[in-house]
Structure 1
């Protein structure tokens, strides 16, 4: 990917322009929109690799825009919001976001989050063969291939975001091992956990939904109450 395009959607022009300055200095090409409708139009016209999306905007909210994005794309979405409670973060992540940054934010922290999400996204190979390669895991009715980030369950192709894939691959790579939410966060996000949060639980809930775990008698992802999560062979 020679040029990485980032879309910033925020009705506060000063914030959008500040973010643009830092992203451009890191070599990214930036598109700006000041409402969700214009943001969706740009997404339809340009090849966008990551979206920075304000939640509270007039007209269509950032949450509704994120849901629209998820109907057709798994590109990383980072929510920006002045709301900082755990419930607000859960709502944002449940709506399809990959990460959540609270305003006011340190621009250097934001660009670090952008780089982290893009590292995952650029590992996706859109031209991958329909056949699995050699770097794969088979557990019961599930097949996971790390080379092309493809997951098959009961022969069905499961579309996952980069974060969801990394969580699933981590658990499947260590069958029988129980990972706490803190361990999952530190290994997948490559960051230390400084305070309790529900980020991992929200992503696992979304992951289970895509895997149709509620319809499965023998769950693939097992909750070990009070400890964490695991996948058994």
Structure 2
């Protein structure tokens, strides 16, 4: 609870805040029914009833069909709506992310923040309009390590691509695997500090309890896809930046 969160501003300045528990719960009031039986509202009752019947018989207006594109970046989640026929941009939305930032090179984010930002960005784009959604495509920041327990709940904050605490593990992995040349023969990529493989080694060395609770791992935009669809998948583009996937 003592982690310092810094939200970077476009001008380069940094606003510092501390995370507090979020208040939950919402007050729901029962809806009041309007009784349209003759006599309850006098002469207006028949007029209201007739209008209601006319509306129920009117053909429904066809909603505009759009596709939603999502980009879960380091600083924010962006959403774009494009017309399914013309491809024209219909609307855009954005919601910022907080960042756990420490002097040792730590750069982390709670995956729940991405979900909250996705919700907010979609609301920002829709602006109370109604659309027929043809599909949703999700992209995002690469290399980050999301650790999930047996119920697919994040075990800890995700270590991001720009986290440099894994430099020691990066060098150790390269030595263990036989040096740069051998690593390139195995995967086509070196296990650089920003890639995912050194983050796994860091977790095992520095947080063995969290490592033991981890049942499976994924990348940031894979986590959003899991939340949206229930499917645990990735694709070769993002997998290429893990340093444990043979890109050839």
TM-score (norm 1): 0.31
Larger Rg over CA atoms: 2
- Which one has more relative contact order, counting CA pairs under 8 Å at least 6 apart? 2
TM-score (norm 2): 0.29
Which has a greater percent of helix?
1
